[in-house]
């Protein structure tokens, strides 16, 4: 069993998109999103790249009408295995997030959460996706977003060019260790901040995790920058 410094099982992975960390532990961004969810007293949440959907289930348990989106077959998620749509205010949409339309989303989103997913998209695709979800978010709504970072070990041997064209596979060693098979766009902290701001968000805070990944909290302020 491959482990990192936190004891996460890196072999607990599926589909070539990396280890399922969310089902093994909560990090600071997970906790911050849940703390904010508690303050909402209801509302609507979206989990983009939900994977097993553990965080989406947490939002629903707190009373938020929650939409979880991922290409993972529903039967392999917590929502599907436990038939949670019958017990909680949660819906699972089995769909590639790049193909999302405004009609797939609730009329209003009070909280959007996406951990360990956005780097699987090209930068332009990420901008377009965040702009789409921002259309449903009123001013003051929060975005909790993370991406694999250029400061992490994933960047060893990674060809990091300009972010607009940055989309490449990891080194063979990093692919094997982390079970990330396809191309990714790794981010520096200021690049994740610029990504969110291009979609119409103001930065509350952005920081690097001890592993070197980028995590941020953003607030919806208005139309995206061009």
- Domain parsing of the chain, residue ranges: 28-182
Tell me the C-alpha to C-alpha distance, in Å, between residue 214 and each of 114, 123, 147, 190: 12, 15, 5, 9
Beta carbons within 8 Å of 14's beta carbon, 6+ residues apart: 20, 72, 76
* pLDDT average, residue stretch 73-101: 92
Cα separation of 173 and 157, whole Å?
A: 9
Helices (H), the chain: 28-40, 54-61, 78-81, 123-134, 172-178, 189-198
Supply 44's token pair. 């609507």
For 9-21, the pLDDT digits (tens) are 444 455 555 556 6
Is 0.75 topped by the overall pTM?
A: yes
Does position 204 have pLDDT exceeding 50, yes or no?
yes
Q: Summarize the confidence of residues 170-174 as an average pLDDT.
A: 96
Residue 122 backbone zone (phi > 0: left; psi -120 to 50: alpha; other: beta):
beta
pLDDT at 170 over 90: yes
Nearest alpha-carbon partner for 224 in 205, 192, 193, 196: 196
Could you please state the CATH topology (level 3) that the domain comprising 28-182 is classified under: Rossmann fold (3.40.50)
Query: How sure is the predictor about 3, in pLDDT bands with cuts at 50, 70 and 90?
Result: very low
DSSP 169: P
> Residue 81: its pLDDT value, please?
85
Average pLDDT on 79-97 reads 92
Task: Return the structure tokens found at 104.
Answer: 């797939």
Half-sphere exposure of 44 (CA within 13 A, CB side): 11
């Amino acid at each position: 069993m491959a482990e990192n410094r936190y004891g996460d099982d890196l072999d607990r992975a599926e589909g070539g998109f990396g280890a399922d960390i969310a089902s093994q532990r909560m990090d600071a961004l997970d906790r911050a999103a849940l703390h904010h969810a508690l303050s909402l007293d209801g509302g609507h949440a979206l989990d983009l790249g939900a994977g097993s959907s553990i965080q989406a289930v947490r939002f629903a348990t707190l009373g938020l009408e929650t939409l979880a989106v991922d290409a993972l077959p529903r039967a392999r998620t917590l929502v599907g295995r436990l038939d949670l749509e019958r017990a909680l205010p949660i819906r699972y949409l089995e769909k590639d997030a790049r193909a999302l339309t405004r009609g797939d989303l609730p009329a209003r989103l009070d909280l959007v959460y996406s951990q360990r997913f956005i780097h699987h998209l090209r930068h332009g695709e990420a901008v377009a996706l965040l702009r789409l979800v921002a259309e449903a978010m009123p001013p003051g709504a929060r975005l909790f977003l993370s991406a694999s970072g250029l400061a992490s070990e994933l960047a060893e041997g990674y060809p990091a060019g300009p972010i607009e064209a940055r989309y490449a596979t990891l080194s063979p060693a990093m692919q094997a260790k982390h079970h990330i098979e396809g191309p990714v766009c790794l981010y520096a902290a200021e690049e994740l901040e610029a990504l969110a701001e291009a979609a119409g968000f103001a930065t509350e805070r952005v920081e690097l995790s001890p592993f070197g990944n980028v995590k941020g909290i953003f607030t919806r302020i208005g139309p995206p920058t061009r």
